[in-house]
Amino acid sequence: MKARLKLVVLSAIVGSFIYLGLGWLVFDTLIGAYTEANTTHLSGFKKTADFSFLFLYLSCFVYALLVSFIQIHIAFHSSQQAFGFFAILGSLVACMTDFYWFATSHFYLNNTVILLDIIAAAICVGSLGIMIYFIQKKLSKNL
């Protein structure tokens, strides 16, 4: 039991840094300008001066912990299975949040920005699934 918990936590720690970097690349660099131009800018909604990098990292860590926890309980036979499963999970979570925001607010200005966010989430979370698949595979041999 201790070995499995250690495997979950270690793979989540490593995965969280990968997910943070990948999220920055995809959500900030690749689609950030489009998202920024196609969402409502509500006064006080987005933090600038008091942005918390710690809580951004914790968000990535918790997502990596979720992926790591699920992965330890599902016996994926390949990295493609891991990618597919977690791409679907990521897109479902994005659908849940994006559809909620679209239904209850004027945050999104069009459907394209929602679609891009869902695709980006599928790619990022699917990639996180692959990374954690390989990390757990490698670490489980050493534990």
Query: pLDDT tens across 74-88, in order?
Result: 989 999 999 999 999
Nearest CA to 71 among 123, 135, 143? 135
What is the identity of the amino acid at 16? S
d(CA 75, CA 93): 22
Cβ atoms < 10 Å from Cβ of 124: 23
Q: Is 39 helix (H, G, I), strand (E, B) or coil?
A: strand
d(CA 16, CA 7): 14
Per the structure, how many domains does the chain have? Answer: 1
State the residue range of the domain holding 25.
8-38+51-142
Q: Does residue 13 fall inside a structural domain?
A: yes
Q: Tokens 């534990």: give the residue.
A: 143
Q: Does residue 45 fall inside a structural domain?
A: no
Q: Tokens 């900030």: give the residue.
A: 28
Across residues 112-132, what is the average pLDDT? 98
Phi and psi at residue 39, in whole multiples of 5°?
-130, 155
Is the model more confident about 46 or about 98? 98
62: its two tokens = 């918790």
Q: Does residue 43 fall inside a structural domain?
A: no
Across residues 101-112, what is the average pLDDT? 93
